[in-house]
C-alpha cells in the first residue's frame, strides 16, 4: 500500500525504514547498506503473539512491515520497496546484466508470491497445535502434521530442487552478475527462514549462498543496525 501525505517542505529528508524485529524488513536494511544510502530506522517490536504492534498501521493500513517513508510517501510491500529504492536511488547499482534480466524478474517476484506462502503455511501448521489447550495438542499435532506432510512438504521439495539447480548454474547471485540484485534482496529472507526450520530440504548450493550473503560487510552492518534478527543465526 502506498500512501502520500502533504509534501514535506525543505530539503529532501532521509529515507525512514519502519523495521520490525525478526522480519522481512531486514532485507531492506541490507539493500540500503549495499547501496551506501543514508537512512533512519524506526524500530517496532513484535507482540507476545509475534504480530506487528498496532503503531505500524499509522504508516501501513495493513499494519505489517516493511514500510519505508520517503518524504510524503509511505510505501509497503518489500518487493515494491526494493524495486523503488533501486530505481530511484540505485545510480545503476543492483541491476542485472542483460543475460540475467529474466532470472532477476522471476526470482524477485517468486520469493513473496510462491515461496513465502508455502513457508508461512508450514510455520502456521507447526504453531497452531502449540497454541491450543494442552488436551487438544496431540490431536491437532497429528492433523496439522499430516496436512503439512501431504500438502506442503512435497511442494517445498520441488522448490528446493529448483533453487538448488538454479544456484548451481549461476554459482553466485540469483541473476548471475557481479553483485546482488533485487532477486537476492527478495530471496534471502525466505531462504534464511527456511534453513532455520529444523526439517528442511535445502541443498549445499543454497547453504553456500546464504553464507555468501552473511559474509558481506553490508549485510553485517545491516544486522548491527537492525538489532534482533534470529534468522541470521541459523546454523548452516
Ligand atoms: N508480502 C509482504 C509481507 C509483509 C509481512 O507479512 N510482514 C511480516 C513481517 S516478516 C509482518 O509484519 N508480520 C506481523 C504481522 O502481520 O502482524 C512483504 O513482503 O512486505
3-state secondary structure 155-209: HHHHHHHHHHHHHHHHCCCCCCCCCCCHHHHHHHHHHHHHHCCCCCCCCHHHHHH
User: Distance from the CA of 169 to the center of ligand 1, in angstroms?
Assistant: 31
List the end-to-end C-alpha distance of the chain, in Å, as a whole number: 35
Q: Which three cell numbers stand for residue 156?
A: 517445498
Largest CA-CA distance found in the chain, in angstroms, rounded: 61
- Could you tell me the pLDDT band of residue 6, with boundaries at 50, 70 and 90? very low
Residue nearest to atom 20 of ligand 1 (CA): 77
Specify the ligand 1 atom closest to the Cα of 24: 10
- CATH code assigned at 192: 1.20.1050
Residue nearest to atom 12 of ligand 1 (CA): 64
Specify the ligand 1 atom closest to the Cα of 66: 20
Q: Are residues 167 and 116 in the same domain?
A: yes
Q: Are residues 61 and 104 in the same domain?
A: no
Q: What is the pLDDT averaged over residues 166-175?
A: 96
Does some domain include residue 10?
A: yes
User: Distance from the CA of 115 to the center of ligand 1, in angstroms?
Assistant: 14
- List the domain range (segments joined by +) for residue 75: 2-89
Does some domain include residue 56?
A: yes
- Rounded percentage of the chain residues whose pLDDT exceeds 90: 83
Q: Residue 114: pLDDT above 80?
A: yes
Does some domain include residue 66?
A: yes
Q: Are residues 211 and 110 in the same domain?
A: yes
- Could you tell me the pLDDT band of residue 233, with boundaries at 50, 70 and 90? confident
- Could you tell me the pLDDT band of residue 56, with boundaries at 50, 70 and 90? very high
Q: Which three cell numbers stand for residue 190?
A: 525466505
Does some domain include residue 68?
A: yes
Does some domain include residue 81?
A: yes
B/e letters for 137-162, b = 16+ CB within 10 Å, e = fewer, are eeebbeebeeebeeebeeebeebbee
Q: Residue 2: pLDDT above 70?
A: no
CA distances from 126 to 141, 142, 160 (A): 8, 10, 19
Domain count, the chain: 2
Cβ-defined contacts of 176-179 (< 8 Å, 24+): 176/96, 176/97, 176/99, 176/100, 176/103, 177/96, 177/97, 177/99, 177/100, 179/34, 179/93, 179/94
Higher model confidence: residue 143 or residue 25?
A: 25
The mean pLDDT of the chain is: 93
Q: What is the pLDDT averaged over residues 145-162?
A: 95
- Could you tell me the pLDDT band of residue 3, with boundaries at 50, 70 and 90? low
**Residues contacting ligand 1 via CB (< 6 Å):** 20, 23-24, 51-52, 63-66, 77-78, 112
How far is the C-alpha of 231 from the C-alpha of 22, rounded, in Å? 7
Q: Are residues 83 and 103 in the same domain?
A: no
Does some domain include residue 125?
A: yes
CA distances from 47 to 10, 24, 50, 52 (A): 36, 16, 5, 6
Q: Which residues contact 21 (CB under 8 A, 6 or more apart)?
A: 43, 44, 45, 46, 226, 227, 228, 229
Q: Are residues 77 and 40 in the same domain?
A: yes
- CATH code assigned at 66: 3.40.30.10
Q: Are residues 69 and 124 in the same domain?
A: no
CA distances from 116 to 90, 109, 169 (A): 26, 11, 23
Does some domain include residue 227?
A: no
Q: Are residues 109 and 64 in the same domain?
A: no
Q: Are residues 123 and 58 in the same domain?
A: no
Q: Are residues 211 and 106 in the same domain?
A: yes
Q: How far is CA 202 from the centre of its chain?
A: 17
User: Distance from the CA of 51 to the center of ligand 1, in angstroms?
Assistant: 9
Amino acid at each position: 500500500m502506498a500512501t502520500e501525505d502533504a509534501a514535506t517542505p525543505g530539503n529532501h529528508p532521509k529515507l525512514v525504514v519502519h523495521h520490525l524485529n525478526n522480519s522481512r524488513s531486514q532485507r531492506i536494511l541490507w539493500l540500503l547498506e549495499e547501496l551506501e544510502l543514508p537512512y533512519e530506522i524506526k524500530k517496532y517490536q513484535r507482540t507476545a503473539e509475534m504480530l506487528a504492534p498496532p503503531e505500524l498501521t499509522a504508516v501501513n493500513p495493513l499494519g505489517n512491515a516493511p514500510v519505508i517513508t520517503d518524504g510524503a510517501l509511505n510505501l509497503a510491500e518489500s518487493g515494491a520497496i526494493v524495486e523503488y529504492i533501486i530505481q530511484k536511488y540505485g545510480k545503476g547499482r543492483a541491476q542485472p546484466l542483460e543475460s540475467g534480466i529474466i532470472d532477476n524478474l522471476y526470482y524477485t517476484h517468486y520469493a513473496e508470491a510462491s515461496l513465502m506462502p508455502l513457508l508461512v503455511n508450514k510455520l502456521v501448521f507447526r504453531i497452531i497445535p502449540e497454541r491450543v489447550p494442552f488436551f487438544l495438542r496431540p490431536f491437532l499435532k497429528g492433523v496439522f502434521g499430516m496436512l503439512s506432510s501431504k500438502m506442503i512438504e512435497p511442494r517445498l521439495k520441488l522448490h528446493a530442487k529448483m533453487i538448488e539447480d538454479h544456484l548451481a548454474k549461476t554459482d553466485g547471485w540469483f541473476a548471475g552478475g557481479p553483485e546482488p540484485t533485487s532477486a537476492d534482496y527478495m530471496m534471502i529472507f525466505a531462504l534464511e527462514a527456511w534453513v532455520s526450520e529444523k526439517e528442511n530440504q535445502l541443498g549445499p548450493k543454497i547453504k553456500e549462498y546464504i553464507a555468501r550473503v552473511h559474509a558481506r560487510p553490508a549485510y553485517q552492518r545491516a544486522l548491527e543496525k537492525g538489532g534482533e534478527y534470529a534468522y541470521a543465526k541459523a546454523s548452516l
